[in-house]
């Protein structure tokens, strides 16, 4: 395994991501459950596994992230990784590539870009705060 992991991460723009989702890619949303519940992209194969959690001390990394992803997704699957703006998903994608996931791609711009393009979204719950 080479140490130049960042070079192995492929980032796609949100329009490419939409096409890939429609062609059957898994969509891994790495935002917090609260963010996910407020709205996420429409995808037939979508899972929410947070890369970080909100705590009173700020955001902390989900120590079980790789185990949780490995439990639900296969390293050979075609997977898109998205977050709110593209930063957490880039880190998550880098980690997944290093762990042997061969076909993961980062969604540049994340959910914000998805919304800005007026692509379809699901909102599962209304925010109460």
Which residues have a Cβ under 8 Å from the Cβ of 126 and sit 6 or more positions away? none
Adjacent-strand bridge partners of 59: 54
Q: What angle do CA 57, 62, 67 make, to 5 degrees?
A: 165
Query: Could you give the CA distance from residue 31 to residue 87 in angstroms, rounded to a whole number?
Result: 11
Catalytically annotated residues: 83
* Residue-level length of the chain: 129
Distance CA 84, CA 52 (A): 12
């Amino acid at each position: 395994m080479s140490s130049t992991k960042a070079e192995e991460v492929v980032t796609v723009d949100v329009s490419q991501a939409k096409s890939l989702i429609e062609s059957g890619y898994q969509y891994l949303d790495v935002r917090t459950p609260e963010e996910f519940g407020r709205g996420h992209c429409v995808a037939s194969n979508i899972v929410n596994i947070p890369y970080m959690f909100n705590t009173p001390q700020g955001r902390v990394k989900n120590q079980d992230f790789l185990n949780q992803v490995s439990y639900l997704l296969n390293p050979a699957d075609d997977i898109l990784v998205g977050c709110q703006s593209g930063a957490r998903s880039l880190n998550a994608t880098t980690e997944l590539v290093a762990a042997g996931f061969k076909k993961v791609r980062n969604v540049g711009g994340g959910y914000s870009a998805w919304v800005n393009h007026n692509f379809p979204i699901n909102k599962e719950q209304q925010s109460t705060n």
